[in-house]
Amino acid sequence: MKLAHISDLHLNTLFNDSNLLRIKRLIKYIASKSVDHLVISGDLADNADESDLLLLKKLLIKEGFNNSAKLTIVPGNHDIFGCPQKPTDIFTFPDRCKEVNYDEKLSMFNQIFSDSFKDTITFSKEFPYPFIKIVNDILIVGINSITQYSKYKNPFASNGEVKLHQFNILNELLQKYNDKDYFKVVVIHHHFNKIKNTKRSIAGIWQNIEKQTMKLKKKKRLLSLFNKHNVDIVLHGHIHYNEFYERKGISFLNAGASTVGYSGRSLRVNILYFEPNEIKSELHKITESGEIKVEELFRKVYKSNTKLSPNFI
- In this structure, the number of other CB atoms found within 10 A of the CB of residue 94 comes to 16
pLDDT digits (tens, 9 = 90+) for 85-112: 888 888 889 999 999 999 999 999 999 9
On whether the CB atoms of residues 199 and 141 are closer than 8 A, the answer is no
pLDDT digits (tens, 9 = 90+) for 218-267: 999 999 999 999 999 999 999 988 999 999 999 999 998 898 765 557 89
CA angle 14, 16, 21 (to 5 degrees): 110
Determine the average pLDDT of the residues in 57-68. Answer: 97
- In 3-state terms, what secondary structure has residue 163? coil
Task: Compute the half-sphere exposure of residue 56: CA atoms within 13 Å on the CB side of its CA.
Answer: 31
Q: How many domains does the chain have?
A: 1
Examine residue 276 and say whether the peptide bond preceding it is cis (omega within 30 degrees of 0).
no
In total, the chain counts a number of residues equal to 313
Determine the average pLDDT of the residues in 137-142. Answer: 96
Among residues 265, 300, 269, 296, the alpha carbon closest in space to that of 39 is found at: 269
CATH of the domain at 125: 3.60.21.10
- Quote the pLDDT of residue 311: 39
- Model confidence at 205: pLDDT above 80: no
CA angle 91, 56, 16 (to 5 degrees): 45
With b meaning 16 or more CB within 10 Å and e meaning fewer, what string describes 217-256? eebeebbebbeebebbbbbbbbbbebeeeeeeebbbbbbb
Range of the domain at 150: 2-312
